Structure 1
Amino acid sequence: MAGFNLTPSDMSTFVLTGIPGLEDAHAWISIPFATCYIISLFGNFSVLFVVGKEQTLHQPMYLLLCMLVLTDLGISTCVVPKALCIFWFNLKGITLSGCLTQTAFLGVVSATHSAVLVAMAFDRYVAICNPLRYATILSNARIAKLGLVSLIRGIVYVLPVPLVLSRLPFCDNRIIPHTYCEGMAVAKISCGDLTFLRLYGLVMGLVLTGIDLLLIALSYCLIIRVIFGISSRKAHLKALNTCTAHIGVMLMSYTPYLFSNLTHRFGQDIAPHVHIILVNVYVLVPPMLNPIIYGVKAQELRDKMRKNICRM
């Protein structure tokens, strides 16, 4: 760690080490990072292009998908380019303002992402349980308002964290054993009192994620009740098929997020590099797989994407 000593003029700079304990393997680790990011960019921009171009896809379901795509791009782009700079060029320095900006942006986008998943569950509930009023309840204007509310909620939730971090005194050791400026990782190198940040992060994280998961579970309980009330087996399968893409995306998003948060707060015996890898799975894998899942399960989107690819 001697190579990371900071001079007095560097005291406004933090050092991101990448994946602690695996520094010698950074070049190899960068390969799946870069591959996942390139696939994510191609898949998500393809969805945005096709939905934007095809008027028939200007429907609530696909507009919500575009919001999900934008949050996926935000999450991965906030983390991966800096991580690749660490892996490839050993550019480990980041200013305090840059660190806090990354922390705030990632938190806002992640919270918005969760809110969009709730809106998508509500969309499926209305489509299956109240199809005759679907266009009235979920107009495009209302979808835009839902997106705005989701963004504002994310900002309100995350804003206290960078504000408190900016006021904390930091020790001489400004080495962050991480690939990006994660809130608690930054707080741990502070010499100040972290009680508020620990309680706020734990309580608000559980409340926000708990409410979102509860609303999603409630939506699917109502959906399942309606599906079991349908006598036709074909109608059963059709109704379930409209939900499978969202269920797959939801599992891909929440599983690594919850697991990484729990290990971060309660898994003290877990090796640091294992935790960092788990956290990076959250920012790498869902953004890469989500457009693939929807491309496979949403027939109308799949057909439109195939048509546009064939034209190229």
Structure 2
Amino acid sequence: MTKFLISIVGPTAIGKTALGITLANHFDTEIISADSRQFYKEMHIGTAAPTPSELAAAKHHFIHHKSIEDNYSVGDFEKDAIKTLDQLFKTRDCVIMVGGSGLYVDAVTKGLDEFPSVDPSIRLALNETLNSQGIESLQEQLKTLDPKSYNTIAIDNPHRLIRALEVCIGSQQAYSSFLTSTNKTRAFKTITIGLTSEREVIYDRINRRVDLMMLEGLLDEVNSLRSKQHLNALNTVGYKELFKFLSHEWTLDLAISEIKKNSRRFAKRQLTWFKKNTETIWFDYNTDIEAIIKTISDQQKCLMQ
């Protein structure tokens, strides 16, 4: 019996979580989360993690299973996700995967590329630069060393940024040059569904989500994490901007405006990444669910022939 992973991708705030739950209920299955920011149990509001009612509506895996103090790489996630899928496929014909972290999605569906080993001192030096000069300094360095990676990876994520830079520096070659088209063999077939809309709609949804996060208590959540703000997991959109407000560097209005701007930039990079996959079937976020289910069923029949 052919097993299927239904992967739902798209920019932030487009409705992936809701679609994933609907599909999980329709196919009587469970959900793998491939959103790296939602792994951390201390980060709820700012990561738009599924709510308790959403988690109760369908079984989720890899939501709040780690602490911001844990070291958890994309390679660790690949191993854990494949192990979980192997278990789920023993009793289910399909599993849903939902996530906006392109590298983590690809790690499950295609496998990770092989990179050269790098002297650990390079990462230590880059982390020192991050702490002393800020993330912008590292972003400019990557822009110079590897423009292709600068335009495709999540440069607001210090983990990804430092990983790309350490490979560039350690190997004297572009990080992007190690990204191959060779995929690992998987014991399942993947059907990728993309949600999108016009740019103005995406940006409006992002702006409204940020306003809602503030109403839900994002500032209090960030304030409770101030003592941990040096951790890489917290150097991310929605948290780093409010840390600047709490340290009296920015006004609250400026911090909120920057969260919206950086979220919009993140959405643009997400779309750039996901559109590299020519097999993705794209739908407007308002598409009737029955049409999406029919397309998935048709794809399953085609892939089983």
Same fold (TM over 0.5): no
Q: TM-score range by the shorter chain?
A: under 0.3
The structure whose residues are more often helix, as a share, is: 1
The structure whose residues are more often strand, as a share, is: 2
TM-score, normalised relative to structure 2? 0.23
Rg comparison, structure with higher value? 1
